[in-house]
Each structure stands twice: as structure tokens, then as C-alpha cells.
Amino acid sequence: MSAKAEPARLALQGLDAAVAVADMNGVILFENPLFFEWFPPDPAAADAGLWARLDGVDAAKAGERLSQGRSFGFETERMRGKRSVAVAVTLKPLDEGALTLVQGFDVSKAREAEYMLDSYSKMAEKNAKELQREKERVEKLLLNIMPRTVYEELRDYGTTTPQRFDAGSVLMLDFVGFTDMAVSRDPSALISELNDIFSAFDRIVELFNCERIKTIGDAYVAVSGLPEFTPDHAVNIAKVALRIRRYIEKRNAAHSNQWLCRIGIATGPVIGSMVGIQKYVYDIFGPAPNLAARLEGLCEPMQILMNRETADALGAEFSSTAQGEAELKGFGKIELFSLDFERGARG
């Protein structure tokens, strides 16, 4: 090697990278110490050429790329002292393909950074999914205690505005003799049955676009016409009441335990609002809920009582029977009607 080339050779030997130069036959013409450390010749092998030293490389593919004047790269694991390092190896053609330059770089830190970044990315993705699942769980829980439109207002603005509806229809239901049942029967079995019944009521209420407002003990409250107004609120709540009664009748026919309900329906002004600060409850107030509660208290077992406004709103689609008048606290004399059946939907 000439005196001019000596500084370059010394510089290459001191690089923190593996460097080698081979001829077109794979004979290594120069290699620095790190290349020798990472890709040592096999003392027992006759061939100490480049391709034998670069074990694990696809020699045929690499040779084809180099013959086209293109570079070829691959990664491998090497030992540096007592630890394994990731090495990125690049082969480049020189002197119109007469020579091949081989460079190897320790990319362990880069791979560790990529691994950490990938791990953080996966962790963030996992946390995002868990957060989304938790959000969906909370949303589902909140939708069990308030209508969707009220939930969306609370979610978007952090508060809700009480709403007055000039006309809505309210259903109030409770069961005859529930207190005696609670005393005489196994509590777990009783509550399990009540849960099954209320779950069936919820499906009926949802079927006719009504809203279950709450349950209190054995009492069940549903409303139609709010928080989103519908002109068919009386018809929808009447269909709910009849199907609830039909469900109870069919259940009684198949079970030894008999459940008898009383249902009051009233049409009139309703106010809907969130109540509470730490524990949210959506509730309804006003003439219609109060009247529905009064009517439910006057019912015979398995009877559905309604006021004149509800009966008039139902029209000829439903069959009803006048029950005379009753003096109700806060309302004076009220005309009562029993809801008998929906025409064309009996059985």
C-alpha cells in the first residue's frame, strides 16, 4: 500500500463500523478489525471468501443485484464482546462491478428505539381501545337511566335543560300484592322474576319508541312523546300497555307464580329533567305523571285505566269502555275509561 493510502487504511481500521473490500470472485482484499470480529473466517473451512464469511446472506440474490450495479442489504445478529448486536450490512458495487464494498453498522440502539416506539404504540393503542370500551360501558349505563337525547346534551354541554311538553303520554304500573309476595317468598327468586318481567317490559317499550323512565320497587314508569315529540304518543303508550298485560297473562299461564298488574295511562303536559348532581336521574313531573299515578291506584287487577284525553287520542283503533267519573285529588272530577284491546291485534 502506498504512503498516500496509509492514512485512509488507518482511518478505516479505526471506524466503529465493519468495512471490507472484495473482488468480483469474493476474495477479500481489505477488512478492518471490526469486520474480522463480526464476520471471522471459519478455521476449519477451506473457503474464507466473502460469501462464506457473510453466512446467512442469499449469495445468489446479492450477486445478481451487484451485477446490475445495485446495492444489496440485509440484517444479521453478531456478537460484540459478550453481547449480541443487530448489524445492518450493505454491499455496494465499486469500479464498475470489479470490486464490492461491504459495510456493517451496529443498529442495536435504533432497533431498540424502534422496539420501544412500537411497544409504546401498541400500549397506546391498547389504552385507547380500553378507554373506548370504558366510554361505551359508561354510555350504556347512562342510557339505562336517561334518554339518548338527554345523554347527548349532557355529554356535549355538561348540563341539561328541563323541557316542558304540552302533550305526552305516561304509563304507571305496579303489581297487586307485591308487599305480601316479598314477605312470603324467597327474595332472590322474587327479584329474579321481577327482573325478567321488567326486562320484557323494556323490550316492549323500546319496540314502540317509548322511554322507560324508572322502576321503583315493583313500580314501572314509561313515557311516550318525550324527550323527542311524536304525534302518536298516546297510540304508542296504549300499545305498550296492552302488550305488557298480554305478556303477563301469557306468563301466568305458563308459571305457577301469578303476577297481577294495574296500569294507569294519562295524556297531558309533562316536564322532563335531570335530577341530582352527583347521582344523575332523569325524571318526569307535571299533570300527566301525577294523573297516571292516580289512575293506576284506582285500577282493578289487570285493568288499564286512562283519562279522556288519552281515549280521544286513540280513536277507533282501540276499544275502550267508559268507567264513569272519579274525584281525584288535584284534578277534580275525571272521566275514566278502561283500555280493552287494539282492534285487529287481539289474541
pLDDT tens for 64-95 read 999 899 999 998 888 877 888 889 999 999 98
Cross-strand partners of 222: 171, 212
Type of residue found at 10: L
Non-local CB neighbours of 330 within 8 Å, separated by 6+ positions = 290, 294
Contact 26, 53 (CB under 8 A): no
- Residue 159 scores a pLDDT above 70: no
Nearest to 293 by CA among 328, 252, 269: 328
> Considering the domain 162-342, what is its CATH architecture?
2-Layer Sandwich (3.30)
Looking at 24-147, list the stretches that DSSP marks H as alpha helix, in order from N- to C-terminal side. Answer: 33-38, 50-53, 59-67, 108-143
Nearest to 287 by CA among 272, 273, 268, 306: 268
Q: What is the pLDDT of residues 246-295, one digit of tens each?
A: 999 999 998 888 899 999 999 988 887 766 655 667 778 888 889 999 99
Identify the residue whose cell numbers are 287494539. Answer: 342
> What is the CATH number that goes with domain 5-106?
3.30.450.20
Query: Is-same-fold flag (5-106; 162-342)?
Result: no
- Please state, in angstroms and rounded to a whole number, the distance separating the CA atoms of residues 225 and 211: 9
Q: What is the pLDDT of residues 101-132, one digit of tens each?
A: 999 999 888 888 888 888 888 888 888 888 88
Q: Which three cell numbers stand for residue 337?
A: 275509561
Non-local CB neighbours of 181 within 8 Å, separated by 6+ positions = 175, 190
- Please state, in angstroms and rounded to a whole number, the distance separating the CA atoms of residues 187 and 181: 9
What pTM, to 2 d.p., does this model score?
A: 0.59
**Domain locations in the chain?**
5-106, 162-342
Instruction: Characterize the bridge pairing of strands 304-307 and 281-285.
Output: unpaired
